[in-house]
């Protein structure tokens, strides 16, 4: 039973980006043949974080150095629940870890089987009633037809509240019309889509990061570049127009990039509007109506007021979701937002109320009881 330590004011905390340990041997029992044998074999090979050949392929360029950041993973729902309780988190939206690199897999049949196995494993092992964990069914960009069927299959399944769109190295980008079946299925199921990237070097735009000599350069650019490119991709083909009820969430890129892209898209919408006649409003209007931005990794300007002002340009507290990226070394603690000059109402929206509404989550039992007592 959930016993989270929460703020004395009863604030709901929903973490929109936590990661489970999706090792191949965990998914193997849920995978179809012959690919089950591949996962079983991968499970017996020496592994490095985000670098399992044929599963989470990484073009590693950085030489190892002593020390550095520890690698942390969470293997069981109970361990995750215990850790979220310590952080004071009521609900968590779980996303994969190794399969953040899923879009770089080239074998269509293997990718299809792997995405199905992940979805089965996620529902069977992680999304248990009462544990406060919710998940996103994984779309397979390599096979849009099967992805649409998977979304339809899991729509309404308890615990499934979104669709995960693998973003690192995806080619083509998510605005391409080949993905229309995925986006249409998500809209019909009333499931938000969640883009999540990770730093990766691949031949696909915008992840050609091979010229950078160290992880500092690649990490600074990798996540926000992926989000910027996919946002423009979706806008330039009219995704928010064709799917006006589709909610789109951008995770693990911070928030500072969003206003810049909105201003830039508005500027060139004025100049090239004949090439995008379907955009009857400014691109920024669609962003403010259908798109959401998760906080992690939250930018840290010297003057915290500047960040709050930046957030206001894309909708501020009404369009922001809290995310920690737990259990990664660079996670953001829920207390981190306390340093921002926000009102209590704004803080409540960001920390949980927005996510409760967006993902259609029930109010935590402790709050429901409290409201009953007040009636």
Structure tokens at 55: 């599963």
Nearest to 135 by CA among 82, 96, 86, 108: 96
**Residue-level pLDDT at 57:** 86
Q: Which residue has the tokens 């898209």?
A: 265
Cβ atoms within 10 Å, residue 21 = 17
How many residues belong to the chain?
Answer: 375
Task: State whether residue 293 is helix, strand or coil.
Answer: strand
**Residue-level pLDDT at 183:** 98
Backbone angles phi, psi at 336, to 5 degrees: -60, -35
24 DSSP assignment? H
**Residue-level pLDDT at 1:** 37
CATH number at residue 266: 3.20.20.140
**Residue-level pLDDT at 64:** 73
Most confident of 65-79, 178-192, 323-337: 178-192
As a whole number, mean pLDDT of residues 281-292 equals 98
Rounded percentage of the chain residues whose pLDDT exceeds 90:
79
Look up the pTM and report it. 0.93
Q: Are the C-beta atoms of 166 and 139 separated by less than 8 Å?
A: yes
CA torsion sign for 358, 6, 252, 81 is negative
Local confidence band at 368 (pLDDT 50, 70, 90 cut-offs):
low
Q: Are the C-beta atoms of 295 and 257 separated by less than 8 Å?
A: no
Structural domain includes residue 142: yes
- Kindly tell me if the per-residue pLDDT of 69 is higher than 80: no
224 half-sphere exposure, CB direction, 13 A CA radius: 18
Nearest to 198 by CA among 225, 221, 222, 227: 222
Structural domain includes residue 5: no
Q: Are the C-beta atoms of 256 and 214 separated by less than 8 Å?
A: no
Question: What is the spatial distance between Cα 79 and Cα 268, in angstroms, rounded to a whole number?
Answer: 48
Beta bridge partners of 91: 14
Cβ atoms within 10 Å, residue 29 = 14
Nearest to 287 by CA among 309, 253, 264: 264
All residues at 6 or more sequence positions from 361 whose CB lies less than 8 Å from its CB, including other chains: 14, 91, 134, 161, 355
pLDDT in tens, 237-278: 999 999 999 999 999 999 999 999 999 999 999 999 999 999
More confident residue, 2 or 158: 158
As a whole number, mean pLDDT of residues 108-117 equals 98
Question: What is the spatial distance between Cα 151 and Cα 225, in angstroms, rounded to a whole number?
Answer: 27
Using alpha carbons only, how large is the chain's radius of gyration in Å?
20
Task: State whether residue 224 is helix, strand or coil.
Answer: helix
As a whole number, mean pLDDT of residues 63-78 equals 85
- Kindly tell me if the per-residue pLDDT of 4 is higher than 50: no
As a whole number, mean pLDDT of residues 57-70 equals 76
Inter-CA distances, 206 with 189, 226, 233, Å: 30, 6, 12
Structure tokens at 148: 């649409």
Local confidence band at 372 (pLDDT 50, 70, 90 cut-offs):
low
- Kindly tell me if the per-residue pLDDT of 8 is higher than 50: no
Segments forming the whole domain that contains residue 75: 14-374
Structural domain includes residue 1: no
Structural domain includes residue 8: no
Structural domain includes residue 348: yes
Please state which of the ranges 17-26, 202-211, 316-325 shows the lowest mean pLDDT.
202-211
Structure tokens at 95: 């996303």
Rounded percentage of the chain residues whose pLDDT exceeds 70:
95
**Residue-level pLDDT at 7:** 47
- Kindly tell me if the per-residue pLDDT of 27 is higher than 90: yes
Structural domain includes residue 9: no
- Kindly tell me if the per-residue pLDDT of 375 is higher than 60: no
Q: Are the C-beta atoms of 312 and 284 separated by less than 8 Å?
A: no
Q: Where are the alpha helices (DSSP H) in the chain?
A: 24-27, 35-42, 77-87, 108-121, 144-154, 180-188, 215-236, 239-242, 257-271, 283-290, 304-312, 344-348, 354-358, 365-374
Q: Are the C-beta atoms of 155 and 186 separated by less than 8 Å?
A: no
**Residue-level pLDDT at 371:** 61
Structural domain includes residue 3: no
Local confidence band at 124 (pLDDT 50, 70, 90 cut-offs):
very high
As a whole number, mean pLDDT of residues 143-165 equals 98
Mean pLDDT across the chain: 92
**Residue-level pLDDT at 41:** 96
- Kindly tell me if the per-residue pLDDT of 123 is higher than 70: yes
CA dihedral 218, 219, 225, 226 (to 10 degrees): 100
Total domain count, the chain: 1
Please state which of the ranges 198-207, 238-247, 334-343 shows the lowest mean pLDDT.
198-207
Structural domain includes residue 4: no
């Amino acid at each position: 039973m959930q016993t989270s330590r929460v703020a004395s004011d009863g604030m709901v905390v929903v973490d929109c980006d936590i990661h489970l340990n999706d090792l191949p041997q965990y998914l193997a029992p849920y995978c179809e043949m012959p690919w089950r044998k591949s996962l079983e074999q991968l499970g017996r090979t020496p592994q490095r974080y985000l670098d399992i050949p044929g599963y989470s392929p990484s073009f590693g360029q950085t030489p190892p150095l002593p020390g550095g950041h520890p690698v942390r993973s969470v293997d069981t729902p109970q361990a995750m629940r215990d850790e979220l309780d310590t952080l004071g988190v009521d609900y968590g939206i779980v996303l994969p870890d190794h399969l953040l690199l899923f879009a770089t897999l080239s074998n269509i049949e293997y990718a299809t089987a792997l995405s199905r196995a992940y979805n089965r494993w996620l529902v069977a092992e992680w999304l248990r009633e009462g544990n406060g964990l919710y998940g996103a069914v994984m779309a397979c960009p390599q096979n849009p037809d099967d992805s649409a069927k998977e979304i339809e299959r899991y729509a309404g399944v308890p615990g499934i509240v979104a669709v995960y769109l693998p973003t690192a190295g995806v080619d083509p980008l998510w605005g391409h019309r080949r993905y229309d079946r995925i986006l249409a299925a998500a809209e019909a199921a009333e499931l938000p889509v969640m883009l999540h990237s990770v730093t990766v070097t691949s031949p696909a735009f915008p992840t050609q990061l091979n010229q950078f000599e160290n992880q500092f350069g690649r990490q600074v650019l990798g996540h926000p570049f992926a989000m910027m490119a996919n946002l423009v991709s979706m806008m330039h083909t009219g995704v928010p127009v064709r799917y006006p009820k589709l909610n789109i969430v951008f995770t693990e890129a911070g928030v500072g990039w969003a206003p810049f892209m909105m201003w830039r898209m508005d500027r060139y919408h004025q100049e090239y509007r004949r090439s995008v006649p379907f955009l009857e409003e400014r691109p920024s209007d669609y962003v403010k109506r259908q798109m959401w931005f998760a906080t992690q990794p939250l930018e840290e300007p010297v003057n915290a007021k500047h960040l709050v002002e930046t957030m206001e340009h894309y909708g501020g507290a009404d369009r922001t979701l809290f995310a920690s990226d737990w259990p990664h070394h660079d996670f953001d603690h829920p207390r981190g937002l306390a340093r921002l000059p926000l009102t209590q109402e704004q803080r409540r929206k960001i920390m949980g109320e927005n996510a409760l509404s967006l993902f259609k989550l029930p109010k935590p039992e402790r709050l429901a009881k409290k409201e009953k007592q007040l009636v």
